[in-house]
Amino acid sequence: MTTPAVLGELKQLLRSCVQCGLCLPTCATWAATGNEVLSPRGRLVLMESLLAEGGKALDPGDLQAFDQCIGCRACETACPSGVPFSLFEYGKMLAAKSRRAGSLPHERLSVPNWLLHRLDRPAVLRVLKALAPLAVAAPPSVARLAQSLPTAPERDQDLMALLARLTGGGGVGPARFPRPTQDDGIEVSFFSGCANAGLMPGTSRRLAELLCGCGCLVRIPAAQGCCGALAAHTGRYSDRKRLHDQNRRAFGGNASRPWIVVEAAGCGAELKEQMDFGGAEILDATEALGRLILPTMRSVPLKVVYHAACHLEHGQQVREQPRALLRGIPGLELVEPEDAALCCGSGGVWSLEHPDLAAEIGRQKARALLDTGAQLIVTTNPGCLGQIRGALAALGEELPIIPLSDLIWYACMT
Amino acid sequence: MDKVVNLLERLQAVLGTGGLLTDTASRRVYARDASHFQLGLPVAVTLPGNGNEVSKVLALCAAAQVPVVCRGTGTGLSGGALTPEGCVVLGSGRLRDLGPLAVAQRSIHVEPGVLNESVSRRCRAMGLEFAPDPSSQAAATIGGNIAENAGGPHCLRHGVTLQHVRRLEWCDASGRPFLTGRGLSVERGLDLVSLLCGSEGTLGVITGADLALIPVGSAVRTMLAVFPVLDEAVNSAVALIGSGLLPVAIEIVDQTMLGAVEEAFGFGFPTDVAAAMIVEFSGNEAAVEADAASAQSVLTSGGAREVTLAGDEQERAALWRCRKKAFGAVGRLAPKYVTMDVVVPLGQLPQLVRDIQAIKARFKVEIATAFHAGDGNLHPGIHYDDQDPEQTKSAHAAAEAIILRAMSLGGSCTGEHGVGIEKLAVVSRMLDPVTASLQQGIKDVFDPAGLLNPGKMLPALDAEYAAAAVVPAQLRIDWESLTVTAPADLPVAEMQAALMERGLWVPVGAWLPGKGGQWGLARAGTVGDLVMDLVPGPGLGAWGAVRDLILELWAETGDGRLFHTGAPVYKNVAGYSLAQALCGSGGVFARPRAATFQLRPVPPSLGLWVCEHPDGGADRRNLLPLFKALRAHQNAFPGRVAILETDGERLQGPLIMLVPGTDRPWDLGALAAVLKSEREKIGCRCLRHEVLTFAGSVDQLAREKVLPQWASSAPTWTTLTQRLEDQDAGIDDMPWAARRILCQFSPRICWLPETAVSDRNWHADIIRHRGHRTELPVPTGEVPLAILRGLKNLFDPQGKLSRPGWLVP
């Protein structure tokens, strides 16, 4: 199933692991279970026999370990020896195919397969969002699911009211839409991603406004589709390819602009890794904002904890820009949680495929975020936002979490 | 097979879901660790969730006669956690409770699966940290650190793991739980903590530990020096230590290692130099500033091309990250490496480094070396391609040559990585036959069926051993390596006097014994007494008990077998820490014949304050704010001693304070300011304040009768140290009913010339009661009596060594 040349290359890559174990503490599945089979080094030990057998697992446990890998890539950042994540991707690909073929034992799913495979459609997400309020009366597993749906205030007034309440500020006026900071603004294409488009359209709109406020000329290609990450997560590689083609048409060609600004960290990682739009540079929203001159920011006297989305921190190696943006807000105190490098357990649809493990990982992350004593959580990925929101709800805690770009919008535009 | 199936069923019943792994994938994963060896597959992996489950797992395995291998995160480099075929792995992955933290006692309770770095992260906000910092600290567990007696760069100043473990909860091979150590600052008796720490899981299984924490320096200076010549870097490290400076760490990486690190992290190191050195100082702002300046001139005159200071905390962290991840980065050079862990007396380090270059040329191998240069510990890593049989052969031959060379220079084959299976072939050459049989005997006492980590650490009986021990007959001082070897019958006074000629001493006991070594507080008569009685002494500038300073011991068992244990090096984990364990055992297990100790620079000055309340006698409670202020500053001014004379409620005589340090505005000068302001608040007059030269000052004060007579000559006294589990009770809970007290604030110990009338919150421990039988205090927790009896029988089968009142059950 895998060509000998590819196998040979993977074997060579595998030899770069010196088994030092420094990856363990950055792996969320290891941290949640204490089981080394669910650690990066453990998975690489199993990879040895997978490669020896030409990609066929002798033991179902071999593929299960990769199936349970969230794909956060924190281990890649931690690895001093430079073991590439492509090894894990190979393992995850085998596991996803095996799961799709029904030959991989796994936890019960929290949503049926037919739905799982359609979560990259904004329309489906809009329906789920509409149904979510009804889930209060549903069985606990469904209720938990509904609580984990990424949400953000749709109306600007609601966002402003939330932040005004947290900062103890007075009345909330309308958004001020300051004059663009630059006249010769850069032309950007805007990639909002299916979760933002379906579940958090207000956030997408505000980010586009913010870019305009910085003088950008923003184009939002209507023909854009999902980035393809979710299709890959669920082993639908032909769907992924189709989506890539669709986006290439929507963003490429003559319509190509210097920047493609991606709203969600997960989409950005997939696009940067898999796509090439010729001259256009793919930028996470925080990277783009970091390069622009922002409107004068208002003071936001809040203790804010930043949850670094793995797909930004590790997947795209974008670390400084989001923190710099937050530090740039007057009055804001930025804090980081204990074990900040650990994934929250979202991983696209991973949390739906591994509900129990994801709940435990989410619980630990929520605990760490709460322990900082922050008044607000911000993050850059809708998946993380939903997962943390659900985990906080499961603990019975009320700590607001909003997209980082919404906070910047609030500071700059109100 | 039925036996195994039966065992697995029982284990499953104890451990529940997630606690027992028997699938092939799990067994394969747990068969490996960071060493590049492999033994066999375990039958199962157990991940108990609490101490009780550990105990049950051990009991079930013992009943089924199945061996048990403990494992933390498998970061060990010597193969200590590898699995013999058919064993059960006892993993600490779910034993990760951390806390509570007792700030006043500078102690924290941890389960064995807690990661080293998590401990310091948890404590740092309170100004405390856990000193041992092996390079693997981000991933290594405390259980593993204890089992291997781990070191790390910062152990240069603060000592290895053993010196930071106060108390252990552990189970023997049959699963019986014990609590060893009372968590006191000073503790005597055969020290089982010393035996367990560094025993590589062959004696017992740790289920919890109270760790000692150290204060974080208020200021840190981290310097990077680059050298065009490797030898000059090494010589400079020796010169730095010899200069009397006390850096917390001195690390060197050679050019090859530097190249790999630079490729991995892009720190911006120059890669055209032969070596880079990291030197770190920690303490108060002005002191580290001055130390860094002195160090800079030592390094520059030693041949450093450039010396730069880390600009900020971020730069400092990046420097250490590069150093600590250096070994992983070596993976970029070649697919395999063999890492050595040799340690030599510091004075021999330059020679060893030259010899390694010769070995490198002879075997035509590539070597990347990281050094803990300050304590003579080297990690040469030979990297090779394991698919090339020639390279593989040369790599291992060169490694053996390096290890043998280090041992022939008086060093040890392992300073911190442990013996495991990797060094079984060479470790025997460091042990004489009697020591080897005692080590095996200790193993048999703890684990008669040989089920705990079999095949590790202890060499085979028919291995090649060292020659029989020869006791050094005379005082031997190695000025370059900063060690002293002294026969047991030598008066401590003579040893210290000889050392003080060059400004060094064995930092125990401030009251320098006079010629003839008459008895007095901390005036141990002979070197043998010092070792066997674990004389603590009010530690003016001291670094701890003798146990923390002893490196080597020659002793005789009760039936006259002479043995030698340890090596004259600052770090050594080749075998059980027998010298440390016997230290303080009262001579009822073995008679000491000679010992080697670490040396430290003598503090230059001694600050003296004599204070008195205006009305001549104060309510003792009035002094509380003063003591509290002193305690608040104890991080900055260690080793403070106060002498009080009280009569119950009233303070009778003057309050005398003695503090070692330097006569500089930021040191004793700063303390003077603190004392002055606190003293004035309570209306206390200062009758006398001066700064004396440390050496000789105590004798001078005794002549002037500043020191009370009893402090230097009373034959009997009691030490009180505060119990660990107490909350910060404060000075008010000291046994004030005693008429005279000598108290030390760090560690918190009191000495009384007579028995304390109240031991509420305090633990009385007799140091010496000449000619009288005294009752020993009852230790808390369950004492492994059978083990103590077994050890007594091992060392003194005919019961010839006895001493009234000493810990012989």
pLDDT digits (tens, 9 = 90+) for B77-130: 999 999 999 999 999 999 999 988 888 778 899 999 999 999 989 998 888 999
**Chain A residue with the nearest C-alpha to that of B135:** A22
pLDDT above 90: percentage of residues in chain A: 61
Residue of higher predicted confidence among B346 and A59: B346
pLDDT above 70: percentage of residues in chain A: 95
Mean pLDDT for the stretch of residues B658-664: 82
Mean pLDDT for the stretch of residues B757-781: 46
What is residue B768's predicted lDDT score, i.e. its pLDDT?
Answer: 42
Banded model confidence at residue B634, pLDDT cuts 50, 70, 90: low
- Which residue in A17, A20, A35 is closest to B93 by CB distance? A35
Q: Which of A286, A274, A288 is nearest to A319 (CA)?
A: A286
Nearest-angstrom CA–CA distance, B401 and A392: 59
What is residue A365's predicted lDDT score, i.e. its pLDDT?
Answer: 97
B26/A61 touch (CB, cutoff 8 Å), yes or no: yes
Mean pLDDT for the stretch of residues A131-139: 80
What is residue A159's predicted lDDT score, i.e. its pLDDT?
Answer: 95
What is residue B674's predicted lDDT score, i.e. its pLDDT?
Answer: 86
Q: Is the pLDDT of residue B523 over 50?
A: no
**Chain B residue with the nearest C-alpha to that of A357:** B18
**Chain A residue with the nearest C-alpha to that of B31:** A45
Contacts with B328 from chain A: Cβ below 8 Å = 18, 20, 22, 79-81
Least confident of A148-152, B110-114, B184-188: B184-188
Least confident of A104-108, B148-152, B568-572: A104-108
Identify residues of B whose CB sits under 8 angstroms from chain A CBs: 18, 21, 23-26, 28-30, 32-34, 36, 47, 73-75, 91-94, 96, 113, 115, 117, 121, 136, 138-140, 264-265, 325-332, 335-337
End-to-end CA separation in angstroms for chain B: 42
Q: Is the pLDDT of residue B481 over 70?
A: yes
- Which residue in B29, B325, B332 is closest to A37 by CB distance? B29
Nearest-angstrom CA–CA distance, B538 and B642: 10
Banded model confidence at residue B809, pLDDT cuts 50, 70, 90: very low
Mean pLDDT for the stretch of residues B223-249: 92
Q: Is the pLDDT of residue B544 over 80?
A: no
Mean pLDDT for the stretch of residues B316-328: 84
Mean pLDDT for the stretch of residues B619-637: 68
Contacts with B32 from chain A: Cβ below 8 Å = 19, 45
- Which residue in B34, B93, B264 is closest to A34 by CB distance? B93
Contacts with B133 from chain A: Cβ below 8 Å = none
Q: Is the pLDDT of residue B775 over 50?
A: no
**Tokens 């100082």, residue located:** B281
Residue of higher predicted confidence among B607 and B149: B149
Helix, strand, coil shares of chain A, percent, nearest 5, are 55, 5, 40
- Which residue in B47, B136, B332 is closest to A35 by CB distance? B47
Laid out side by side, the sheet with B550-557 consists of: B476-478, B483-487, B590-598, B550-557, B562-566
Q: Is the pLDDT of residue B672 over 60?
A: yes
A16/B335 touch (CB, cutoff 8 Å), yes or no: yes
Banded model confidence at residue B781, pLDDT cuts 50, 70, 90: low
Mean pLDDT for the stretch of residues B335-343: 90
What is residue B235's predicted lDDT score, i.e. its pLDDT?
Answer: 95
The distance between the two most distant Cα atoms of chain B, rounded to a whole number of Å, is 86
| Strand pairing class (A187-191; A259-262) | parallel
Contact A408, A206 (CB under 8 A): no
Q: Report the Cα A69 to chain-centroid distance in Å.
A: 15
From the candidates B28, B75, B323, which should be mutated to test the interface with A, based on the most A CB atoms within 10 A? B28
Least confident of A215-224, A330-339, B523-532, B719-728: B719-728
B117/A21 touch (CB, cutoff 8 Å), yes or no: no
A17/B121 touch (CB, cutoff 8 Å), yes or no: no
What is residue B321's predicted lDDT score, i.e. its pLDDT?
Answer: 85
Interface predicted TM-score (ipTM): 0.91
Banded model confidence at residue B548, pLDDT cuts 50, 70, 90: confident
Q: Is the pLDDT of residue B30 over 80?
A: yes
A20/B96 touch (CB, cutoff 8 Å), yes or no: no
Banded model confidence at residue B512, pLDDT cuts 50, 70, 90: very low
A20/B36 touch (CB, cutoff 8 Å), yes or no: no
Mean pLDDT for the stretch of residues B742-747: 66
From the candidates B20, B22, B50, B73, which should be mutated to test the interface with A, based on the most A CB atoms within 10 A? B73
What is residue B233's predicted lDDT score, i.e. its pLDDT?
Answer: 96
Specify which of A387-391, B283-287, B319-323 reaches the highest per-range mean pLDDT. A387-391
Banded model confidence at residue B496, pLDDT cuts 50, 70, 90: confident
Min Cα separation B323/chain A (Å): 11
pTM for the whole structure: 0.91
Banded model confidence at residue B709, pLDDT cuts 50, 70, 90: low
Cα atoms found within 13 Å of the Cα of residue A336, Cβ hemisphere only = 13
Identify residues of A whose CB sits under 8 angstroms from chain B CBs: 15-25, 30, 33-37, 41-42, 45-46, 49, 58-59, 61-62, 64-65, 78-83, 338
Question: pLDDT averaged over chain B?
Answer: 85
- The one-letter amino acid code at B321 reads R
A45/B28 touch (CB, cutoff 8 Å), yes or no: yes
Mean pLDDT for the stretch of residues B365-371: 92
Residue of higher predicted confidence among B804 and B546: B546
Specify which of A205-209, A232-236, B123-127, B654-658 reaches the highest per-range mean pLDDT. A205-209
**Tokens 């890959």, residue located:** A232
**Chain B residue with the nearest C-alpha to that of A32:** B94
B73/A42 touch (CB, cutoff 8 Å), yes or no: no
* B751 membership: H or E segment, kind and range: strand B748-752
Residue of higher predicted confidence among B707 and B240: B240
Residue of higher predicted confidence among B708 and B58: B58
Q: Is the pLDDT of residue B788 over 70?
A: yes
Contact B437, B462 (CB under 8 A): no
pLDDT above 70: percentage of residues in chain B: 82
Contacts with A75 from chain B: Cβ below 8 Å = none
Specify which of A323-337, B517-531, B650-664, B677-691 reaches the highest per-range mean pLDDT. A323-337
Contacts with A42 from chain B: Cβ below 8 Å = 29
A82/B36 touch (CB, cutoff 8 Å), yes or no: no
Each residue of A188-215: b (16+ CB within 10 Å) or e?
Answer: bbbbbbbbbbbbbbbbbbbbbbbbbbbb
* pLDDT tens sequence across B501-511: 888 888 875 44
Neighbours of B727 (CB within 10 A): 10
Mean pLDDT for the stretch of residues B214-241: 92
Q: Is the pLDDT of residue B780 over 60?
A: no
From the candidates B26, B83, B379, B392, which should be mutated to test the interface with A, based on the most A CB atoms within 10 A? B26
Least confident of A328-337, B102-111, B519-528, B683-692: B519-528
Contacts with B94 from chain A: Cβ below 8 Å = 33-34
A80/B328 touch (CB, cutoff 8 Å), yes or no: yes
Angle at B598 between CA B539 and CA B561, to 5 degrees: 110
Least confident of A257-261, A397-401, B524-528, B775-779: B775-779
What is residue B700's predicted lDDT score, i.e. its pLDDT?
Answer: 79
What six digits make up the tokens of B313? 């905390």
Banded model confidence at residue B529, pLDDT cuts 50, 70, 90: confident
B70's CB contacts (< 8 A; 6+ apart) are B81, B89, B90, B91, B92, B143, B147, B201, B205, B206, B452, B453
Banded model confidence at residue B514, pLDDT cuts 50, 70, 90: very low
Nearest-angstrom CA–CA distance, B227 and B224: 10
Q: Is the pLDDT of residue B652 over 80?
A: no
Banded model confidence at residue B517, pLDDT cuts 50, 70, 90: very low
Mean pLDDT for the stretch of residues B422-432: 94
What is residue B646's predicted lDDT score, i.e. its pLDDT?
Answer: 65
Q: Is the pLDDT of residue A199 over 80?
A: yes
What is residue B760's predicted lDDT score, i.e. its pLDDT?
Answer: 46
Q: Is the pLDDT of residue B618 over 70?
A: no
Q: Which of B545, B441, B529, B522 is nearest to B181 (CA)?
A: B545
Banded model confidence at residue B728, pLDDT cuts 50, 70, 90: very low
- Which residue in B33, B115, B328 is closest to A79 by CB distance? B328
Nearest-angstrom CA–CA distance, B676 and B680: 6
Mean pLDDT for the stretch of residues B754-778: 46
Cβ-Cβ contacts under 8 Å between A and B: the total is 113
- Which residue in B74, B327, B329 is closest to A36 by CB distance? B74
Residue of higher predicted confidence among B414 and B157: B414
- Which residue in B21, B75, B325 is closest to A37 by CB distance? B21
